[in-house]
Structure 1
Amino acid sequence: MPQKIANQFLEAAIEPARWLDVLQRVAQQTQSKHAQIIGVGPSFSFGFNWVNDMDASAHAAADRAELMAPTINFRVAAGATRPPQTISWEDDYAALRPSLADQSYLDLCSDLDIPFGCQTNLLVEDDGLIGFALLRAHRNGPTDAETRAMFARVCASAGAAVALQVALERESYKLVAGSFEAMNLACFVLDRTMSVRAISRGADALLADGTLRLADGRVAAPSLAVQRRLTAAMATIGERRAGAASVAAPTPAGVLMLKVHRLPDREWNMGFAPFAILIAKRPPAADSADAAFLRETYGLTASEAEIALLLRLGRTRAQICTARAITGETLRSHLRSLFGKLGVRRETEAIHLLHALLS
């Protein structure tokens, strides 16, 4: 059995939709109700839960973030204190139960009839752990020495498969960054904590010239006001409250639009694949040739030239403030200077002149 299951585990790492098949085989061979691969994210957040022969209603009851705390879940508590490939079993669970904060996970085990079993950690890292377990019903009874020995023999194969899939998921950060590099776009590829894991050359250039920076592994803006908006946008994406969010970041070279997009969920993702991307791009309004003409001919600053181009495009003052991430008072100050340099007194006169100059 071990060699056949070892091959099935490695096949699952390459074709993750096959995980349930190999878990089914492990459960059958160990005469258990279920075999399980579970991911626990940072701070014991819920990652994923793959269990053979578990229906949707049982998953809905089990797959809840509040049940992942080690003060609630004796299995998570056992995993949090053991190094990889160390087996915990019913004796360990019994020792932990008296210290649980409440009965919610014990009630779940009773409802799903999974009071017994054994487990090990296949991977333990700062950004989470992946556990492997047998879940046994009353009719299966507690694990015995022979069952735990059989479980131990397949743990190495399961660990190798998990390590392979995690490595493949992590390699995809570079693939995503490379794709955006081919499109000549500045791209930061983010993990589920919104930390940067790969960047394109364009993104590297923005870091090198100080337009953006990294703080604790995350993209940060030099301006405190922009940073607050960027942090809020990142939280919106990280908490899955939206699929995309944008922030305008004024820079000496003009506005830089920071657009964060959550990538599509992958059903058999262990949590180490790219979660989101941040694209940094100058808005189309900042046409370089027209802006250069206005700067050279009328002595406009980069900010004034961009505001002039936005006016020519028919943007309202409110829209310009949003695009430039500035207040109404700041915009009025720019417009006074802009009108003086163009030799006009009103906004409508400026727009007519700009159409005539740039048509």
Structure 2
Amino acid sequence: MDFRRLEAAKHALANVAFAPDQWEDTLREVAAACGTGRAQLVAFGGPNFIPFNRTNDIDPAFITDFPQIDGGSPEVNWRVACAGAPFQLARETDYAEARKRIRRGVYDDFVSQFDLPYGCQCVLTQKPGLMIGMAVLRHHADGWSSSEDCESFLALAPHVLEAVRTQLAIGEEASHLLSNSLDAMQALALVLDGFGHIRSITPAADLMLRNGDVLRAYGERLSAARIASDLVLQKAIADILSERAASARLILQGEDMTEVACHLVAYPRREHEFGFAPRILVLLKQPEQLGASHAEDLVRMFGLTISEAHVAIAAANGLSREQIARTRKKSAGTVNAQFKSIFRKMDVSREAELVSFINRILR
């Protein structure tokens, strides 16, 4: 074991989070301490979703082509198939076993193109939907990793994880600072990271998502209540994360036809950031129409059925009886009968009086 190289790598890792433009030099030090020329730090969010992939002194095609071959899939990439518990070493003998379980030779062709068939690796941290790992990569001429190389690799792995966590914490602080500024302006806003995950949210936006009429948090992801709206929203997020677009303006509709204006804006990307840094600012406009929560208020206050309450809210939002029948897929006779019941329970005699009363107590 080359202790001088090992200490140099540890020193570089202790400082790189505060100077992220030095990651390539730092990975070069890690590789040298492990007896090779290249080290890799990579995050997997799915077969072709690679939030970051840093490898020193590498052909750019190694980075750009990796997602295109589904490089994050254990059914394609025998290195990914070898992934175990955090800090569990996998090396050439494990690669050979994993190859036997993979019929497709796509990844073999890929590593042959760049002459990087050997090396060792480990997972640094993982949670559902995300794995961050490190590896050192070796050419044919380098041969297999020695036991000393593997020992050095495992000695450095905790230091790499600490550097990653420190840089992520810095990015997290940036998200919260932005969120606090927006909160001071009482904005309906969220910040998404490079994974599309919600990193921070203002209290006003959190309340809207908890209501869930139009938008909601599904795990760490922002989603729309209606499938059609969610498809539009997810495409807009994906386009901004992949830099196909810098912004998007959407009108998203809930199940009760409530609408929310949603403006997505790309946050300036820093060249050496990880995927957890702020990437998208989402600004929401409070819906001007009444929604499902207001319908529940009418149920509690006047004893309306939930169907009657939605009809009353639709009327207060300006829909005619014909539009209500069409929207709710009910017959005109059913809607007329519901209006009669609503009038009786709310002690009004006509629609104009009903709308005025609802607006007065709910808006």
Other-structure match for 1:98 = 100
Displacement of 1:15 in angstroms is 1.7
Measure the CA separation in 2 of the matches of 1:213 and 1:52: 41
Other-structure match for 1:267 = 271
| Superposition pairs of residues 1-359 of structure 1, within 5 angstroms | 1=4, 2-42=6-46, 45-62=49-66, 64=68, 66-79=70-83, 82-207=84-209, 212-217=214-219, 218-219=221-222, 224=226, 228-239=228-239, 240=242, 241-248=244-251, 256-281=260-285
**Please, which moves more after superposition, 55-64 or 160-169?**
55-64
TM-score normalised by length of structure 2: 0.69
Measure the CA separation in 2 of the matches of 1:91 and 1:58: 23
Measure the CA separation in 1 of the matches of 2:270 and 2:143: 35
State the percentage of identical aligned residues: 28
Displacement of 1:250 in angstroms is 7.2
Displacement of 1:143 in angstroms is 0.6
The 8 Å contact of residues 237 and 261 in structure 1, kept in 2 or not, is answered as no
The 8 Å contact of residues 261 and 277 in structure 1, kept in 2 or not, is answered as yes
Distance 1:112 1:43, change over 3 A: closer
Paired residue secondary structure (2:261): strand
The 8 Å contact of residues 233 and 245 in structure 1, kept in 2 or not, is answered as no
Measure the CA separation in 2 of the matches of 1:148 and 1:197: 36
Displacement of 1:32 in angstroms is 0.8
The 8 Å contact of residues 117 and 143 in structure 1, kept in 2 or not, is answered as yes
Distance 1:208 1:137, change over 3 A: closer
**Please, which moves more after superposition, 211-220 or 160-169?**
211-220
Displacement of 1:282 in angstroms is 5.5
The 8 Å contact of residues 169 and 272 in structure 1, kept in 2 or not, is answered as yes
Distance 1:163 1:281, change over 3 A: same
Distance 1:41 1:31, change over 3 A: same
Displacement of 1:262 in angstroms is 3.4
Measure the CA separation in 1 of the matches of 2:46 and 2:173: 21
Distance 1:91 1:201, change over 3 A: same
**Please, which moves more after superposition, 20-29 or 270-279?**
270-279
The 8 Å contact of residues 49 and 67 in structure 2, kept in 1 or not, is answered as no
Measure the CA separation in 2 of the matches of 1:55 and 1:213: 42
Measure the CA separation in 2 of the matches of 1:221 and 1:145: 52
Paired residue secondary structure (1:142): coil
Other-structure match for 2:360 = none
Could you report, residue by residue, the CA deviation over 1:313-357 in whole angstroms, capped at 9, with x for unpaired residues?
xxxxxxxxxxxxxxxxxxxxxxxxxxxx9xxxxxxxxxxxxxxxx
TM-score normalised by length of structure 1: 0.69
Measure the CA separation in 1 of the matches of 2:179 and 2:7: 38
Could you report, residue by residue, the CA deviation over 1:67-112 in whole angstroms, capped at 9, with x for unpaired residues?
2211111111112xx1111111001001111111311111121121
The 8 Å contact of residues 48 and 70 in structure 2, kept in 1 or not, is answered as no
Could you report, residue by residue, the CA deviation over 1:118-166 in whole angstroms, capped at 9, with x for unpaired residues?
0111111223111111101122110111111111211121121122222
Measure the CA separation in 1 of the matches of 2:140 and 2:205: 56
Distance 1:131 1:180, change over 3 A: same
Displacement of 1:178 in angstroms is 1.5
Displacement of 1:55 in angstroms is 2.7
List gaps (5 residues or longer) in structure 1. Answer: 285-300, 305-340, 342-359
Measure the CA separation in 1 of the matches of 2:47 and 2:171: 21
Measure the CA separation in 2 of the matches of 1:12 and 1:85: 21
The 8 Å contact of residues 35 and 132 in structure 1, kept in 2 or not, is answered as yes
Number of aligned positions between the proteins: 287
Displacement of 1:212 in angstroms is 5.0
**Please, which moves more after superposition, 191-200 or 26-35?**
191-200
Paired residue secondary structure (1:275): strand
Measure the CA separation in 1 of the matches of 2:213 and 2:74: 42
Distance 1:149 1:202, change over 3 A: same
Could you report, residue by residue, the CA deviation over 1:147-195 in whole angstroms, capped at 9, with x for unpaired residues?
1111121112112112222233333332221222233321022244544
Measure the CA separation in 2 of the matches of 1:267 and 1:64: 22
Measure the CA separation in 2 of the matches of 1:210 and 1:29: 52
The 8 Å contact of residues 233 and 260 in structure 1, kept in 2 or not, is answered as no
Displacement of 1:197 in angstroms is 3.2
**Please, which moves more after superposition, 162-171 or 127-136?**
162-171
Displacement of 1:47 in angstroms is 2.4
Amino acid at match of 1:74: W
The 8 Å contact of residues 76 and 107 in structure 2, kept in 1 or not, is answered as yes
Displacement of 1:64 in angstroms is 3.2
Paired residue secondary structure (1:84): coil
